[in-house]
Amino acid sequence: MVCGTVPALAGCLSAPPVDNPALVRAGGETIENPVMVSPGQPTPASYRELFEKVIEVLDDYFELLPPNPYEGRIVTKPRIAPGYEQFWKPGNPDPRSRLFATLQSVRQTAFVEIRAGERGGYLVYVVVERELEDVPRPARGLPVAVFMETPTSERRLEVLTQEVTGDRMWFKVGRDYALEQQILRRIRQCR
């Protein structure tokens, strides 16, 4: 009786089958986008302070285009998303996105809009767009070694460089919600 129960219980305690998806946990609480900052009556001083705090947070991740406080919009220059090989750079808090950026050229651009809330305060809306590079051919081909049996007296020096062109093609693949949440958390802490 005991021998028959132990294998039955051990089956319940074993690992889930391979086709069963793994449990994915969110990295903390989800912050709604737009986030309410500086509740109360909006004033020019509170707006200026908030605008500078948002610039300070975005500056840690992106290079900014010249911001215009009268427009209430901050736009960044596109940047190549860091992968695991650039562990010191901030961005991509999601391990899956970080791995994806390691294996593929991913570009990110952020847009932030600050507007007055209906019941006071300011609403800060953050969008981080992701793009993939469309490469017509690999940047580097497979290495090919050619061995010659007879030495040549004429040697030519060829410098091989990567072809740099300004006509790279990028196509949008969606938003980077994990980075948006990280930026929103930091903006919310600036109250």
- Give the pTM: 0.67
Q: How far apart are CA 180 and CA 117, in angstroms?
A: 20
Query: Concatenated DSSP letters for 176-189?
Result: -HHHHHHHHHHHHT
pLDDT band at 113 (very low <50, low <70, confident <90, very high): very high
pLDDT in tens, 175-187: 999 999 999 999 8
pLDDT of amino acid 129: 93
- Alpha-carbon distance of 92 to 81, in angstroms, equals 7
33 to 36, 59, 117, 125: CA distances (angstroms): 9, 20, 13, 6
- Convert 46-63 to b/e letters by CB count within 10 Å (16 or more is b): ebeebbebbeebbeebbe
User: Domain coordinates of the chain in residue numbers?
Assistant: 28-136+172-191
Topology (CATH level 3) of domain 28-136+172-191: Alpha-D-Glucose-1,6-Bisphosphate; Chain A, domain 4 (3.30.530)
Taking the alpha carbons of 22, 177, 129, 65 in that order, is the dihedral positive or negative?
Answer: negative
pLDDT 10s digits, 65-88: 999 888 989 999 999 988 888 888
